[in-house]
Chains A and B, each alone.
Chain A
Amino acid sequence: MKKLTALLLAVLMMAALLPSLVQAEPVKLTMGSWRSDDAEQAKGWLAKYKELTGVEIVFEPTQSAQYNATLRLQLDNGTGPDLMYARSYAVGEELYEAGFFMDVSDVPGVKENFPASALDGWQAKDGKIFAVPVSAVSHVVYYNVDIFEKHGLKVPETFEDFLALCQELKDKGEQPLANGIADNWDILECVYLGMLPNYVGGVDERVKYESGEKKMNDETFVKSLEDYAKLAKFLPEGFESMGNSDMPAMLALGRAAMFIDGSWTAGALLGEDYKDLNWGAFAIPAPEGNKAGMSFHTDWGMAGNTATKHPEEVKAFLAWVASPEGAEIISKAQPAGFFPMINAEIKLEEQHANDILALNEGKILDSRFVWAKLLDMYTPMVEQLNAIAKGETTPEAAAEVFAAEQAKILDK
């Protein structure tokens, strides 16, 4: 009898949880994102959109690490969100090819308001645009201003100065860099690919490697790897187990003077945890005689779901994202370090963010070297960079591996 009542209770409890049937309501769209960090900000700018149009959009972020996997499953199953953050190049393009992302080429503003370099990240092989460009990121050196002032040090102008600066810090008992290799991505994406535009140059040169006209064991690459190897000498003790999120802590605790990371980290450094840290940022300097470049990477765009029940509203929203007014509202709500790509004067409110954006001036800008066509280089590159840092291989040998991998990709 007791068991029976328990069962009854369970059944009742379960019945209470049944989804209540939803009646017709005003249009409500859902938005998928990997930026769970920005949930509050997103609610802010989506609320502004609602004020303007009456369309409600619910922000439903997924943990970043799981975003690709879960989004794909949901799209495949026809349960994906109406709108979603789209990664640039191959990752986004694959979802467009599979028929999940709308073609947004004809959405008003897309073709008119963005530079070719921004659209490039979300342009499929057939020439169609599959997402409205929103934010770009850059890769810079953060430094502890107090440590620099204590030793009377200056921000370096050339890569040679940078190495000398590291040596000087080391001689004075400071740990120059906080970077590590434990996470298997930042050493490539932020450090090496951040350095690379200083050696390779911009998109005009990059495409020569993508076509095979230039080999990745040429002088340019060997030089870049040699410089990387010299820099790697200044990584901290135990860099093998130092992860990306450990670096700002090292800077704030005064245990390291600098670290190389993405502009997005400015947002974290402006937070409550780092309020006592006096920090600045400078561009990864080019070696003597090279034209300075900067990795200014197309980070995220906004895509529409082809299977949405409200295509009109989705397109209207995308047009707003592609308009100067919409872009301004979105950009201002972004955490520091995410920069608008639209051709419009948008003044960011945060001084640090403006400073980092200003580092782009006069430099050749390009997306991360491997993203457009050579993404299969990613893993071999990480492996070689890790091996160089650990002293297990030489820059020359690593360049040979690069060239071999490049040849493999071109053969496909």
Chain B
Amino acid sequence: MQPTLSKSHPRRSRLEPGGGYWIWYVLPALIMYCLFMAYPMLDSVRLSLYEGTTGARNFVGLANYVRLFTDPEVSARFWGAFFNTWVFFAYHMLLQNVLGMLFAVVLTNRTMRGRRFYQTIIFIPCTIAVMVTGYLFKLVLNPQFAGPTLRSMGLGALVKPWLGDEKTALHVISLVSVWQWVGIPTMMFVAGLQNISEDLLEAADIAGANSWQTFWYIKFPLLLPVIGMIAILTFVSNFNAFDIVYAMATPDGAPNYSTDLIGSLFYRYGVAGKHPIGIPEPGVGAAISTAIFAMLLVGVIPTLRATQGKE
């Protein structure tokens, strides 16, 4: 992830004779991707113009979108989930990714011992299935089951129905998710930092820069493409996140939709249908995804422009 491009070639690189040749390298991936992802997905986006679940579907034009934004019940759910997802995203962006960068800076220090050990430990939570993390945290956050132990340790103030309270549930779930996934940005930042030229860092050291200055003036600017990449990955994955809510707060985003994310909303409408009826509305689900897709594009394109791919 070395961002400094060599700009010293006045003539066109002979490796870049134009698109024609490169397509052969791209084609295998493109075929795979088109057949098993792009086509099924785009075709499903088309569903947002239809209603009905199984068998015959009726073309209804933009009715699903109209419903999504004007039907008081559906639009309240949509905007509620939209807002919650931003809160969820803020935790990952500001806490998970900053922690990840901090850990990575520490872990790429060559003279520090135990780096591999630390990094592996940081990654271990990622390996546990979300349904289990969800259940474990539900257990230790439950006043009835964790209460006695906590009280005996003088931590009675922590005995609260954290997941049952609309004011705290989303924050708790976000923190659990940050705890679980911080290993991913850490790993990506480590990969990015190790590519920074050692000469550059030595030069900074000789010039008398302290570690903060080295970080802020050298490492941070050089990490910008990685930061952009991680920001985009966090953004898109948070807007599709769903497992942790499912595991900790039911697919309804209980209590009272306070933990409902776009991902769980989509699951409820588009895939499973609301309990107990369980009749999905793929049209509305597709409309939700398409609307979010449009918003993600608005967020991703400028980030891509700002942080990478500059010619």
Contacts and interface: CB of A to CB of B under 8 A. Distances in A.
Interface residues of B, number: 33
A375 B164 contact: no
B256 interface: yes
B3 interface: no
Contacts of B250: 182-184
B280 A91 contact: no
Interface-centre pick from B54, B55, B272, B279 (highest chain A CB count, 10 A): B54
B219 interface: no
Contact of B278 (A69, A100, A182, A236): A69
Given A69-B271, A182-B164, A386-B255, A242 B142 contact: yes
B274 A379 contact: yes
B278 A68 contact: yes
Interface string B92-107: 0000000000000000
A124 to B, nearest CB: 15
Given A91-B278, A236-B144, A375-B276, A98 B55 contact: yes
B147 interface: yes
A99 B55 CA distance: 8
A72 B256 CA distance: 28
Given A236-B144, A238-B142, A255-B144, A185 B161 contact: no
A131 B116 CA distance: 59
Nearest to B273: A68
A241 B162 contact: yes
B254 A100 contact: no
A243 B250 CA distance: 10
A241 B54 contact: no
A307 to B, nearest CB: 12
A94 B142 contact: no
B164 A69 contact: no
B53 interface: yes
B277 A378 contact: yes
A182 B127 CA distance: 27
Contact of B163 (A98, A185, A241): A241
B165 to A, nearest CB: 6
A346 interface: no
A75 interface: yes
Nearest to A183: B250
B162 to A, nearest CB: 7
B interface: dominant SS: loop
Contacts of A66: 272
For chain A, give the interface size range: 35 or more
A239 interface: yes
B280 A69 contact: yes
B269 to A, nearest CB: 12
Given A76-B54, A375-B277, A181 B144 contact: no
Nearest to B274: A379
A97 to B, nearest CB: 9
B141 interface: yes
Contacts of A255: 144
B273 A98 contact: no
A95 B271 CA distance: 15
B255 A240 contact: yes
A378 B276 contact: yes
A47 interface: no
Interface in B214-249: none
B275 A185 contact: yes
B60 to A, nearest CB: 17
B139 to A, nearest CB: 9
A243 B137 CA distance: 13
Nearest to A69: B272
Interface string A99-124: 11000000000000000000000000
B252 A184 contact: yes
Contacts of A76: 54-55
Interface of B: 53-55, 138, 141-145, 147, 159-165, 250-252, 254-256, 271-280
Interface of A: 65-66, 68-69, 72, 75-76, 87, 90-91, 94-95, 98-100, 180-185, 189, 236-243, 246, 249-250, 255, 375, 378-379, 383, 386
The 7 closest A-B pairs by CB, nearest first: A240-B164, A238-B143, A68-B278, A241-B164, A238-B161, A241-B161, A240-B161
